[in-house]
């Protein structure tokens, strides 16, 4: 896909959303079912993923760690966003990789230390790419990728959250 193809595909969508802002508001959903042992099975729409406890917290390592899945979602979103932005800017990325890392102190989730945080800390997102783009273009590419990456922005500016219960 080139910049013209992307603009052509997005133009009617952008126009619709300008005319009807409510049409742009959608609800994303994910659902899982508790599985064997201490697992949860998630249907991603493309494949079935079984999540389990990270070995650092007592898991067997056979299930996908939800912390890893969060970082994978960030990498996927940032990669797609960067690719779309580069395409819109007419930049050629001959090769590119995106890496996300975060620190995790298992003492928090295991209740070993009340001082240890529960959750990922110090998220780091790193891009490596091969391009002839100027330093200014690369700076713009990174700035726009950060601005338009849904998962990045969700993590940087956490939404209000709630927990509810329903009967099965």
pLDDT at 157 over 90: yes
pLDDT at 168 over 80: no
**Mean pLDDT along residues 133-154:** 97
**Mean pLDDT along residues 77-83:** 93
pLDDT in the model for residue 13: 92
Q: How many CB atoms lie within 10 A of CB 51?
A: 20
**Mean pLDDT along residues 62-81:** 92
CA dihedral 94, 131, 100, 27 (to 10 degrees): -70
CATH homologous superfamily, domain 3-156: K homology (KH) domain (3.30.300.20)
pLDDT at 161 over 90: yes
| 136 Cβ neighbours under 8 A, 6+ residues apart | none
Distance, in Å, from the CA atom of 39 to the CA atom of 77, rounded to the nearest integer, reads 25
pLDDT at 63 over 80: yes
**Mean pLDDT along residues 3-8:** 89
């Amino acid at each position: 896909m080139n910049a013209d193809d992307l603009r052509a595909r997005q133009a009617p969508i952008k126009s619709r959303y300008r005319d009807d802002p409510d049409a742009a508001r959608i609800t994303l959903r994910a659902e899982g079912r508790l599985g064997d042992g201490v697992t949860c099975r998630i249907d991603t729409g493309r494949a079935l993923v079984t999540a389990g406890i990270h070995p650092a917290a007592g898991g067997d390592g056979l299930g996908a760690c939800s912390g890893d899945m969060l970082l994978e979602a960030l990498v996927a979103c940032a990669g797609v966003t960067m690719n779309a932005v580069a395409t819109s800017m007419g930049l050629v990325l001959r090769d590119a990789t995106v890496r996300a890392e975060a620190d995790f102190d298992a003492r928090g989730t295991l209740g070993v230390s009340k001082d240890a945080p529960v959750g990922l800390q110090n998220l780091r997102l790193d891009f490596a790419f091969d391009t002839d783009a100027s330093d200014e273009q690369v700076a713009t590419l990174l700035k726009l990728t950060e601005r338009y990456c849904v998962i990045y922005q969700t993590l940087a500016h956490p939404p209000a959250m709630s927990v509810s219960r329903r009967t099965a």
